[in-house]
Amino acid sequence: MADAIYAPSQFRLAIAPQADFATENTTQGEFYELDITSPTQPDMASGIIEDSRKRSDGKRVMSPTDTYRATTGGTYVIPFECIATGATLDLLLKSAIQDFVSEEATTPYQKVFNLDDGTTGPDFSADAGIMLTVLGADAENWSARNCIVRNLTLSASPGTNGGRLTASGEFMTGFDIDISSVTATTASWQSPGDIAGQVAYFPFQSYANCSVAAANLVPYSFSITMANGAVRVGNAAGLATNYHMPLFTADCEIVAKLDAITDDLIDTYRTNPAAGSAEVAVIMDWGTDDTDGHLKFLLNAIYTGPTTRDFGAESGVGVTLSYSGVDDGTNKALVATIANAIDRSW
């Protein structure tokens, strides 16, 4: 082992839902591998509490005892970037949104999530919401239990990852990272795609609809970022007793062809900011409703600007349109729908 040389492609990452808040999932066959675009590791420094100051010890130079470090009570962050697949995206969405509306009882098991406007979030300590175990297989296997997705960005453009929708973000946990005697049986993991005939990817080139206020756009790229601001709560022997998500946000950015439709959207905002910031439906979807491979994002959003133009695009001048999801009491800030032919029994 001392002379081993590892290639980046040997580092693998998988996630599995937990049965409850406290119990790590160790059943290897329940892990879904993420199709990561680059290796990742837990940010071990994020979970270390440190206080470094010069004590009054009669010296004018730092001493080894002037720095205090502890892992008890820390929050660990695990960054990730992967190709979004039908087998894994619903897990990432549920972990980031933490509000589940419905799952159909029969194939393709279409699932619906939305950002909840409720005054209270899920009580994770009572096993509400969803907890994930994140498992890394590399030179030194590691495991992180009680993880949730704190922020998630889904983006697609023809020139990145073959146009396939890409997911990036952060897992967070208020529990220690296990790096001792961790089992990672990758042969038992579920593949990131091609499960039970489900559609594996969501290529930008295959989108079915990209529209704002019912007007169809010609997009050059698309991204949506959702965040819940999750933080740890409490301390029991150094471990979190719950999590709190103080604010849900959903922001969308579309780079689209400059034409009469996008120019009108921009001009309305410039000439009448109040009208330009009126609520509109922003839609990006793939496939057909209630069919395996269907994916749809619907934002009830306001335009946030500012507007920028790309004069260097070979496909024509592009314009960046930025929107933020809002909840008006009737329309949810974000509704996400996915059908992947996998029965989660949620």
Q: pLDDT tens for residues 312-334? A: 666 778 999 999 999 999 999 99
Is the CA virtual torsion 204, 267, 323, 301 positive or negative? negative
Least confident piece of the model among 98-102, 253-257, 266-270: 266-270
What is the pLDDT averaged over residues 221-242?
93
Average pLDDT of the residues in 259-279: 82
Is 222 inside a domain boundary?
A: yes
Write out the H or E segment, with its range, that includes residue 79.
strand 76-83
Which residue intervals of 111-229 are DSSP H helices? Answer: none
Rounded to whole angstroms, how far apart are CA atoms 103 and 109? Answer: 6
Flag whether pLDDT at 2 surpasses 70: no
Asked whether residue 119 carries a pLDDT value surpassing 90, the answer given is no
* Cα distance between residue 248 and residue 53, in whole Å: 37
Query: What are the counts of helices (DSSP H) followed by strands (DSSP E) for the chain?
Result: 3, 22
- Specify if 156 maps to a domain: yes
* Residues 341, 111: Cα–Cα separation, whole Å: 10
> Structurally, how many domains does the chain consist of?
1
Look at residue 66 and tell me if it is in a domain.
no
Tokens standing for 189? 């993991």
Q: Are strands 12-17 and 49-52 parallel, antiparallel or unpaired?
A: unpaired
- Any domain includes 182: no
Check residues 67 and 28 and name the one with the higher pLDDT.
28
Phi–psi pair at 49, nearest 5 degrees: -90, 125
CA distances from 270 to 87, 255, 274, 297 (A): 42, 18, 9, 27
User: Domain residues for 252?
Assistant: 11-46+74-177+187-338
Q: What pLDDT is stored for residue 193 in this prediction?
A: 67
Which residues make Cβ contacts (< 8 Å) with residue 3, sequence separation at least 6? none
In a domain, 95, yes or no: yes
| In-domain check, residue 343 | no
User: In this structure, is residue 319 part of a structural domain?
Assistant: yes
Q: What residue ranges in 157-272 does DSSP mark as E strands?
A: 166-173, 207-212, 215-216, 219-227, 231-233, 242-244, 249-257
Q: Is residue 313 part of a domain?
A: yes
d(Cα 35, Cα 312) in Å, to the nearest integer? 32
Is the pLDDT assigned to residue 254 strictly greater than 60? Answer: yes
Q: What is the pLDDT of residue 268?
A: 80
CB burial of 42-52 (b: ≥16 within 10 Å; e: otherwise) equals: bbeeebeeeee
Name residue 32's beta-bridge partners: 15, 190
